[in-house]
Amino acid sequence: MRSPLRILIVAAASALLIGQAQALQYRQSKTVDDNLARTLLQYAKDAPPQLHKIIGDVPIYVMDDIAMFKSPAVARELKMNRAFQQSVSNGLAGLAMWPIAKGRGFRSISLFADKIRDAPAERQRAIVVHELMHQLDHALGNASQNRTFMAAYKTDVQNFNKMTRTMSAEDREFFNRWLGYYIKSSHEAFAEVATHLVYPQSNGDERAIFFGVFSNTAAALEKMLRARDIPIDVRKATPATIDWPEAGSRSGSCLIGEGLVRPCTRQ
Ligand SMILES: [Zn+2]
């Protein structure tokens, strides 16, 4: 039987220091590109120290692809049962896990190089930070399910659904493809909106639409992050109104986190 460590080797011995005391454990597959792996690790290390302090020591695995994640060796390494392992979506660029039940893996982040490799730098960073934000959600006791967060999130979901209902089918498809992943799950909205509060995307139009759609979620999260001294980027802005159809006619890069791997350009 092959040892998991023949696939996942320690690439940077566990003492990469963050701030005073936090170590970032990091493993990469033998076949993954070293530069890419180093870049992704750097994005994780660059995240605010206050964030690392709360989430603690979470090992980060950089794997070639989801097929490697679904191998028997990785099931053993991450303590996943095979049924759970095989149920993970093949479309993901990254995955944050914590043991919500026996066999559901141990607290870790997995990143899949094949999906991330060709993405723009800020999107690569967003994928890494998105996974860190899932760990923050977990470390704060499932904050994406608490009453304050849920009230804000549900308001944004209702507004999004109301707006998209009146659009052309084409526009609706565009916005659902871009933002639907976060509209369908408060966990995903938490991770992605928190990512954009700390690292907003550089495209001002997309940034305005994103924070327009998630205005209530962003306000609730901003309060939560500020209360924990996690710095918010000043570029974050909430527009009073969103010009939906015009926005939809742009071809944007639609910078997003793990869930949407297709380019979000309009056909
Ligand atoms: Zn996610």
Sequence ranges of the domains in the chain: 4-118, 143-249
What pLDDT, on a 0 to 100 scale, did the predictor assign at position 260? 44
CA of 165 to the centre of ligand 1 (A): 25
Beta strands in the chain (DSSP E): 8-10, 17-18, 22-23, 26-29, 60-63, 94-97, 108-112
Task: Say if CB 260 and CB 81 are below 8 A apart.
Answer: no
CA of 8 to the centre of ligand 1 (A): 23
pTM for the complete prediction? 0.85
CA of 126 to the centre of ligand 1 (A): 11
Give the tokens for residue 155.
């308001």
- In DSSP terms, 104 is beta-bridged to 80
CA of 190 to the centre of ligand 1 (A): 9
CA of 146 to the centre of ligand 1 (A): 18
Q: CA-to-CA distance for 43 and 121, rounded, in angstroms?
A: 10
Q: Give the closest residue to 124 by CA, choosing from 141, 136, 140, 112.
A: 112
Tens of pLDDT, residue by residue over 146-162, are 999 999 999 999 999 99
CA of 2 to the centre of ligand 1 (A): 30
Tens of pLDDT, residue by residue over 97-147, are 887 777 777 889 999 999 999 888 988 999 999 999 999 999 999 999 999
Task: Say if CB 45 and CB 24 are below 8 A apart.
Answer: yes
The type of residue at 218 is A
CATH level 2 (architecture), domain 4-118:
3-Layer(aba) Sandwich (3.40)
CA of 134 to the centre of ligand 1 (A): 7
